[in-house]
Chains A and B, each alone.
Chain A
Amino acid sequence: MPSDFVSALRAVKRHWRVILYPIGMIPAAWLVWQGQHGALGADPVNVFERSLGLWAFRFLLACLVLAPLKRFAGINLLRYRRLTGLLAFFYASLHVLAYIGLDHGFDWGVLWTDITRRPFIILGMSALVLLVPLALTSNAFSMRLMKRRWKVLHRLIYLAAVLAGIHFFLSFKTLNAVSAPYLAGLALLLLCRVLPEKRR
């Protein structure tokens, strides 16, 4: 009996990172459940869409915080970069899907005007497009194949984060207590990135 427990624990430990993917998707499932049960309030489509976008931004920031966490605090969680990055992509995709399908009912005329004329939408859409090649090359095979170019390509996440940050700021009428901490966090992470590396 105890040995069963121990072996189960070992299995969890071995597959921990894989288990984290479904855990990371719980907020999405929770939002869908709430939406179906009328728990998202008077304007459920808007809340659903915005919440997915916010989760995408959260995972994007979580992905970006791992490098400075190692550099400045000595905590090495770099192995979670793929997880957080892919979850950011997952939420950004759902966010856009909700915008296209639920919010605008696949009204391609309206969507085309949005995507071609409105900076607010262009910024958000560009951020998602930038994440596509990163998600596609987020496997060990691509890393081996691309060698140094892989690193260069994956710096695109900083550009995606900046575009997503501006898009997030623009999604409110004014700066506010919800958006300000996230934007400050993003600014801090970008600052960490450009700080010169000390030679040892």
Chain B
Amino acid sequence: AASLQTHPGPYSGNLTPTPHEDVTHYNNFYEFGMGKADPAARSQDFHPLPLTLEITGLVRKPVRLDVEQLLRSAAMEERIYRMRCVEAWSMVIPWDGIPLASLLKDADPDPRATHVAFESVLRPSEMPGQSDGLSGIQWPYVEGLRLDEAMNPLTLLALGVYGETLPNQNGAPIRLVVPWKYGFKGIKSIQRIRLLDHEPPTTWNRLASDEYGFYANVNPQIDHPRWSQATERVIGAHSLFGATRQPTLMFNGYGEQVADLYRDMDLRKNF
């Protein structure tokens, strides 16, 4: 990983990052396998660059971005965010990236656009997990946000972590970070972004809609069918008898920034 020119951004709060080793070796990235160690172990054949990121659909100025150029962007900033996985564990990750809103504004969204759809790279020859027929996952991985969620200043397109370009296992070269939502919303190795006038399908919702909703907002009051979401295992202790659990925060602690987005919604239905 090469080092990045970055500067401290807002919203980082007073958080202590999870050790680099854990952030880069404990990953869910099913394109490279289903074990937590698989992404680091099985992603060496993936070539993240060159990559052209498209922003198309209901926009007035479709954008094609050379990600290599984006890596040198002066807009790059560090955001230290909580990361809460739907599996009830959490980390704190120092991302480096560009607010998604600034790129979407460049594309000039059409007033009819209500949602944003994201699509990952589809490259079975470099991503062994994409040839695994057992999981039933339809590739490429797809995710989506409402346009107002995408425009929220917290929403980040990350190009780096810990001040360096993203390792393959963390979603190189560019990935989404939506810190008030469960980790699976943070689609990795993004190739296409499309603006739509309807809610797009999302990978995990398609697979198990009772377990993974479109919104997937972190919410300690709404349990996963198989486990409680009230608390989370804190990654980083490494000792079996010294590991800790902590209470999960509503919207993962970002309620001040995002609660208004869901003011009139029944979060139990729209989980």
Q: Which residues on A are within 8 Å of B, measured CB to CB?
A: 32, 34-36, 38, 40-46, 48, 102-105, 107, 110, 113-114, 118-121, 170, 172-178, 180
Stretch at the interface among B145-153, B171-179, B190-198, B220-228: B220-228
- In this complex, what residue of B is CB-closest to A38? B238
* Contact indicator A175/B239 (Cβ below 8 Å): no
| B53 touches A (CB below 8 Å) | no
| B249 touches A (CB below 8 Å) | no
19 contacts between A and B (CB under 8 A): A35-B239, A36-B239, A38-B238, A40-B240, A41-B25, A41-B26, A46-B233, A48-B240, A102-B240, A102-B241, A103-B233, A110-B228, A120-B226, A173-B34, A173-B208, A174-B207, A176-B132, A177-B132, A178-B35
Most buried by B among A102, A121, A170: A102
Most buried by A among B26, B237, B243: B243
Bound together, the chains give a CA A34 to CA B226 distance in angstroms of: 27
Bound together, the chains give a CA A7 to CA B231 distance in angstroms of: 58
Bound together, the chains give a CA A66 to CA B22 distance in angstroms of: 42
**Interchain CB contact (< 8 A) of B235 among A43, A103, A173, A178:** A43
Inter-chain contacts of B233 with A (CB < 8 A)? 43, 45-46, 103
| B215 touches A (CB below 8 Å) | no
We find that the number of chain B residues with CB closer than 8 angstroms to chain A is: 33
Inter-chain contacts of B134 with A (CB < 8 A)? 174-177, 180
Inter-chain contacts of B236 with A (CB < 8 A)? 42
* Contact indicator B238/A44 (Cβ below 8 Å): yes
* Contact indicator A44/B132 (Cβ below 8 Å): no
* Contact indicator B34/A177 (Cβ below 8 Å): yes
Q: Which residues on B are within 8 Å of A, measured CB to CB?
A: 22, 25-26, 34-37, 89, 132, 134-137, 204, 207-208, 223, 225-228, 230-231, 233, 235-241, 243, 245
Inter-chain contacts of A113 with B (CB < 8 A)? 223, 228
* Contact indicator A118/B26 (Cβ below 8 Å): no
SS of B interface (majority): loop
A53 CB, nearest partner CB in chain B, Å: 14
* Contact indicator B36/A174 (Cβ below 8 Å): no
Bound together, the chains give a CA A114 to CA B134 distance in angstroms of: 28
* Contact indicator B36/A41 (Cβ below 8 Å): yes
* Contact indicator A42/B22 (Cβ below 8 Å): yes
- In this complex, what residue of B is CB-closest to A175? B134
* Contact indicator B37/A178 (Cβ below 8 Å): no
* Contact indicator A110/B239 (Cβ below 8 Å): no
With contacts A36-B239, A36-B240, A118-B227 taken as known, whether A43 is within 8 angstroms of B26 at the C-beta atoms is: yes
Inter-chain contacts of B36 with A (CB < 8 A)? 41-43
- In this complex, what residue of B is CB-closest to A105? B245
8 cross-chain pairs, A with B, having the tightest CB-CB distances, nearest first: A35-B240, A42-B26, A38-B238, A174-B135, A120-B226, A42-B22, A44-B240, A176-B34
Bound together, the chains give a CA A147 to CA B137 distance in angstroms of: 51
B120 CB, nearest partner CB in chain A, Å: 17
* Contact indicator A42/B25 (Cβ below 8 Å): yes
* Contact indicator B228/A46 (Cβ below 8 Å): no
B197 CB, nearest partner CB in chain A, Å: 31
With contacts A172-B34, A174-B137, A176-B134 taken as known, whether A44 is within 8 angstroms of B228 at the C-beta atoms is: no
Bound together, the chains give a CA A43 to CA B235 distance in angstroms of: 6
Inter-chain contacts of B25 with A (CB < 8 A)? 41-42
* Contact indicator A41/B37 (Cβ below 8 Å): yes
**Interchain CB contact (< 8 A) of A174 among B22, B35, B136:** B136
- In this complex, what residue of A is CB-closest to B244? A105
B223 CB, nearest partner CB in chain A, Å: 8
* Contact indicator A120/B240 (Cβ below 8 Å): no
Inter-chain contacts of A42 with B (CB < 8 A)? 22, 25-26, 36, 235-236, 238
**Interchain CB contact (< 8 A) of B89 among A32, A46, A172, A178:** A46
- In this complex, what residue of A is CB-closest to B238? A38
A96 CB, nearest partner CB in chain B, Å: 15
A1 CB, nearest partner CB in chain B, Å: 45
* Contact indicator A44/B237 (Cβ below 8 Å): yes
* Contact indicator B89/A44 (Cβ below 8 Å): no
B178 CB, nearest partner CB in chain A, Å: 19
- In this complex, what residue of A is CB-closest to B25? A42
Bound together, the chains give a CA A107 to CA B231 distance in angstroms of: 11
* Contact indicator A110/B230 (Cβ below 8 Å): yes
